[in-house]
């Protein structure tokens, strides 16, 4: 068994991503003319531009609001390799992540409900949500929000795969993606609770729920301990 997505389904997801990205560019294209304006923007971007390698992402002196977010720092570092200090590439990257998370949300809801129309409706509501679109105009908030949301939804999608229990490759990738999500923003520590809620409310997944969700709680517990330690110190 592999992690490959069937060809027809992948075409549909790519089309959905292109439509979501196109809508965002048409509706919020003015975001690309925005500038850095918040102190968090300057911390993330200046740290990324000022380092030739990403080793700094684990150093406490670069924490924003004393939250360890190495994955968000890594995201900024990767974008900075092409963007430098220019603002619009970071804004565009956030926009594309927003479009990708929309597609992943559709995929997760489809797996949960089996209803394609309901999945499209939820994805559309997310796509036009003022709470989500407002972050397009704020580089740091957009990055932390869209990176963590995209990774959380990817982890949920893997967790809901029918072969999650029997395919070790799927489980390992799901654990790794969940770890990245939690390393992007501390709100992603709620991911194991979401998984547990899905297991306990979906009759087809109640069996073996403890063994399935336990590794995610262990990952979240270790990262939560790190966040608390940094905050208290």
* pLDDT tens digit sequence for 139-168: 999 999 999 999 999 999 999 998 999 999
Burial of 50 (0-12, 13-18, 19+ CB in 10 A): exposed
Q: Where are the alpha helices (DSSP H) in 38-138?
A: 39-49, 70-83, 88-113, 116-127, 130-133
Name the CA radius of gyration of the chain, rounded.
Answer: 18
Q: How large a percentage of the chain has pLDDT more than 90?
A: 87
Provide CB contacts within 8 A for 118, sequence distance 6+: 109
Mean pLDDT within 173-180: 98
| pLDDT tens column, 102-112 | 999 999 999 99
Residue 34 and residue 87 in contact, taking contact as beta carbons nearer than 8 Å:
yes
List, in order, residues 6 or more apart from 51 with CB less than 8 Å away. Answer: 77
The whole-angstrom separation of Cα 115 and Cα 103 is: 15
* pTM of this structure: 0.92
Residue pair 180/151 in contact (Cβ under 8 Å)? The answer is yes
What burial class does residue 35 get, using C-beta atoms within 10 Å of its C-beta: 0-12 exposed, 13-18 middle, 19+ buried? exposed
Cβ–Cβ < 8 Å for 105, 123? yes
Predicted confidence band at 6 (pLDDT cuts at 50, 70, 90)?
A: low
For residue 5, pLDDT over 60 is answered with: no
């Amino acid at each position: 068994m592999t992690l490959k997505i069937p060809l027809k389904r992948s075409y549909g997801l790519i089309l959905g991503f292109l439509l979501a990205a196109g809508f965002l560019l048409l509706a919020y294209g003015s975001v690309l003319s925005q500038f850095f304006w918040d102190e968090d923007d300057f911390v993330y971007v200046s740290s990324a531009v000022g380092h030739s390698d990403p080793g700094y992402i684990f150093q406490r002196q670069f924490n924003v609001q004393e939250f360890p977010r190495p994955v968000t720092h890594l995201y900024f570092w990767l974008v900075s390799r092409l963007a430098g200090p220019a603002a619009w590439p970071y804004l565009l990257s956030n926009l594309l992540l927003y479009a990708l998370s929309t597609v992943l949300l559709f995929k997760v809801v489809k797996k949960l409900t089996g209803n394609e129309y309901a999945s499209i409706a939820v994805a559309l509501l997310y796509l036009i949500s003022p709470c989500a679109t407002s972050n397009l105009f704020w580089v740091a908030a957009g990055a932390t929000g869209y990176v963590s949301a995209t990774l959380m939804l990817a982890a949920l999608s893997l967790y809901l795969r029918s072969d999650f229990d029997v395919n070790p490759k799927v489980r390992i990738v799901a654990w790794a993606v969940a770890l990245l999500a939690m390393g992007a923003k501390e709100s992603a520590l709620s991911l194991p609770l979401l998984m547990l809620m899905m297991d306990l409310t979906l009759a087809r997944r109640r069996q073996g729920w403890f063994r399935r969700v336990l590794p995610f709680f262990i990952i979240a517990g270790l990262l939560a301990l790190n966040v608390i330690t940094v905050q208290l110190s």
